[in-house]
Amino acid sequence: MDQSLITPAKSGEKKRRGRKILLLIGFILVLVIAAVLIINAVVLNAGERIISPADAAELQADCILVLGAGVQDDGEPSLMLRDRLLKGIELYQSGVAPKLLMSGDHGTKGYDEVNVMKNFALEMGVASSDVFMDHAGFSTYDSLYRARDIFQAERIIIVSQQYHLPRALYIAERLGVEAYGVAADDIAYAGQTYRELREVAARCKDFIQCIFLPEPALLGEAIPVSGDGDQTND
């Protein structure tokens, strides 16, 4: 088209349309950022239920739920998972709860967090019958849902790192589970900045999920945590 045929009126209309689109995009971005900030504030508020080991000892919890994390290629727990396990076992040995519930990803034969977690506990002197394995704890949401419905735990002490606990506690609250968090000893883990950023998105995801409360991909028959943990051996 001959540019000389474009009238000033048409050119001005294009500019106005462009400004409107930019304003709409800006408005949407502001709404998204505001929603993310509000949701994160709501979820982080659940962090008020993070307590000390001494306070946890007063609660007579049904179990200590240790949330899974990465396992190394040599079959050893990652540093982050090791710290969670050490704190969970410390709480168990001090009488905070009579059972440990190890919840993690065992979705394939080639990747198994929960047996690594249980074996670590056994090496630390924990009785096998006191260690339950949740083989389908594929997410924090799944772990809490299954702790309630499969393992029938009503009062839980959750062990994870400080940054992760508010989301776990928020999910527990929405599921109607009485839960408190005890933070694992924290160090400067490699890649922590990435995990902190990912946690911002995860809080939004689980906030929405907790509105609808869908069932996890896998459920099954009840295995009460008050019983024998060896029932969960594979």
Look at residue 9 in the predicted model and tell me its pLDDT: 62
pLDDT of residue 1: 45
| Domains of the chain, earliest start first | 46-221 (3.40.50.620)
Q: What's the pLDDT band for 8 if we cut at 50, 70, 90?
A: low
| φ and ψ of 196, to 5 deg | -65, -40
Nearest C-alpha neighbor of 75 from the set 132, 121, 102, 113: 113
Which pLDDT value is given to residue 104? 93
pLDDT at position 13: 76
**Residue 213 pLDDT > 70:** yes
Cβ-count burial of 39 within 10 angstroms (0-12 exposed, 13-18 middle, 19+ buried)? middle
Q: Tens digits of per-residue pLDDT, 94-144?
A: 999 999 999 999 988 889 999 999 999 999 999 999 999 999 999 999 999
pLDDT digits (tens, 9 = 90+) for 167-190: 999 999 999 999 999 999 878 888
Tell me the average pLDDT across 191-208.
94
